[in-house]
Amino acid sequence: MRSRTAPWVLLAPFLVLFIGTMIVPIIMAIGYSFTRVERSGLLGEAGIRSVFAGFDNYIAALTNVNFLQAIGRMILFGAVQVTVMIVAATVLALLLESASARWPGFFRAAYFLPYGIPGVIATILWSFLYIPGLSPIVDVLGAIGLDVDFLGPNMVLWSIANIVTWTYTGYNMLIIIAQLKSIPGELYEAAKLDGASSLRVALAIQLPLIRPALMLTVIFSIIGTLQLFAEPRLLQTMSAGITSEYTPNMSAYAFAFQYNDIGMAAAQSVIIAVAAFLLSAIALGVSNWTEKRR
């Protein structure tokens, strides 16, 4: 006889914490996004009031040039970086799992290592590799005549992309490898009997069967892109190209904690959350649709 209360008992600690630390604050944030502060007097000393602002904050956010540019930037970043990273992770996974690889354990460990290095520290390390005067890479490139400025306004976005790719490729690769290992051996046997080359095996058997893992990694990577904060913020002091509203998340932080405009910050955060939700839904939908077509 199934108990009615047992599942709720098991769920309780998680749910209580989840609701307390995520749901309640989100509701609060939504509430803030509909308010605005009004002041009278030179410095507000004659009165400060919070008033209902309707959709003003949302309209202001969506017409703010900087915020829109930040969103555009993230779309570009995501499109390129996520693709490069997932492709690299897949290729590396396939290579490592192929019979032609020596010392797969060592390589797997080497590729996964960056994941354990916190974004803050990874950025500090890479910044030392980007700063002219400190960076041996810049020196080496300079010696062969290539003058690269990793922190210049045109390149810095891709320098950030590099840090993110470096950190997460190994992690995504391991997810894909796990799914690869679940492919039954007899499929490979059959392919070998048919005389299929490694490439054919990869394209016809492995890629389709790792689709769920690919979907998972793509979705989490998209969400990660929309939350990009630590890396650009740390590079901000070193790069003329990074403004205080460079990514949508940085913009929300700036409005909340620097300009003290909580209503606007909340509106921006809500917009970012909705965008994350939509993009993930689209990714899932696309995946299901292509799946059905096969």
Partner 1 sequence: MRRAMKPRLSRRSALVGGGAALAAGLAACAPPNSGEVNAAPTIPAADGKVHLTYWAWLKDLQKVCDVFNASQDRIHVDATWIPGGNSGGYAKILSAIAAGGGPDIAQVELRQIPEFALAGAIVNLSRYGFDEQAPKFDPGALTQAQVGDTLWGVPQDTGPVATFYNREVLEGELGLAAPTTWEEFRETAGAVSEAGKSLISLDPSDGSHPIAWAMQSGAVWFRPEGDGWIVDMTGEASMRVAEFWDGIFADKLVGTGYGSFTTPWYAAAADGKVLASISGSWSDALAKTVPDGSGKWAVAPMPTWPDGYASGGHGGSSAAVASNSKHPAEAIEFLTWMCTDPAGIDAMIENSGIGWSPAKDYIGEVRKQPDEFFSGQNYNEEVIVPMAEGQNLDWTWAPLMQRVQAIVGDGMTTAVTGEVPLADLFADAQTEIVEIMRTIGLNAEEAR
Partner 2 sequence: MSTADATTTARRSKPLGNAARAARGDGPSGRRDAGRKPTTTIIVTAILAIVAIYFLVPVYWVVVNATKSTEELFGSSGFWFGENFQLFENLKAVLTANGGIFPRWGLNSLLYSGVGSVLATYFSVAAGYALAKYRFAGRKIVYGLVLGGVLVPGTAVALPLFFLFSSIGITNTYWSVLIPSLVSPFGLFLASIYASAAVPDEMLEAGRLDGVGELGLFHRLSLPQLVPAIVTILLFQFVAIWNNYMLPLVMLADEKLYPITLGLDNWRAQTDRLPEFYQLTVGGALLSVIPLAILILVLQRFWRGGLTEGSIKG
Write out the two tokens for 173: 């690769």
DSSP code, position 288: H
Q: Is 10 in the site for partner 2 (CB under 8 A)?
A: yes
When CB distances are held under 5 to 8 angstroms depending on the partner's kind, the choice from partner 2, partner 1, none that residue 241 binds is: partner 1
Size of the site for partner 2 (CB under 8 A): 113
Closer residue to partner 2 in complex, CB, 47/184 = 184
Fill in the per-residue mask, 40 to 79: x = in contact with partner 2 (CB under 8 A), - = not in contact: ----------------------------------------
Fill in the per-residue mask, 124 to 163: x = in contact with partner 1 (CB under 8 A), - = not in contact: -------xxxx--------------x--xx----------
Closer residue to partner 2 in complex, CB, 157/270 = 270
Stretch that binds partner 2, among 43-51, 57-65, 75-83, 267-275 (CB under 8 A): 267-275
Torsion over CA: 115, 121, 125, 131 (sign): positive
Q: Give the DSSP H/E element, type plus range, for residue 49.
A: strand 48-52
Whether 154 and 241 have beta carbons less than 8 Å apart is answered as yes
Distance CA 291, CA 269 (A): 33
Q: Is 7 in the site for partner 2 (CB under 8 A)?
A: yes
Q: Is 166 in the site for partner 2 (CB under 8 A)?
A: yes
Q: Is 237 in the site for partner 2 (CB under 8 A)?
A: yes
Minimum CB–partner distance for residue 1 and partner 1 (Å):
6
Distance CA 86, CA 165 (A): 9
Stretch that binds partner 1, among 174-182, 190-198, 208-216, 243-251 (CB under 8 A): 243-251
Q: Which residue has the tokens 């292509």?
A: 290
List, in sequence order, the alpha helices (H) in the chain.
Answer: 5-18, 24-32, 56-63, 65-97, 104-112, 119-130, 136-143, 156-181, 185-193, 198-201, 207-209, 211-226, 230-235, 248-253, 262-293
Distance CA 95, CA 148 (A): 31
Backbone angles phi, psi at 213, to 5 degrees: -65, -40
Q: Is 230 in the site for partner 2 (CB under 8 A)?
A: yes
Minimum CB–partner distance for residue 117 and partner 2 (Å):
6
Closer residue to partner 1 in complex, CB, 8/277 = 8
Stretch that binds partner 1, among 115-123, 168-176, 203-211, 241-249 (CB under 8 A): 241-249
Write out the two tokens for 86: 């997932």
Q: Is 6 in the site for partner 1 (CB under 8 A)?
A: no
Closer residue to partner 1 in complex, CB, 60/205 = 60
Of 11, 15, 48, 113, the one binding partner 1 by CB under 8 A: 48
Of 78, 170, 232, 241, the one binding partner 2 by CB under 8 A: 170
Distance CA 173, CA 97 (A): 11
Of 56, 66, 114, 149, the one binding partner 2 by CB under 8 A: 114
| Direct distance between the N- and C-terminal alpha carbons of the chain, in angstroms, rounded to an integer | 42
Distance CA 278, CA 264 (A): 21
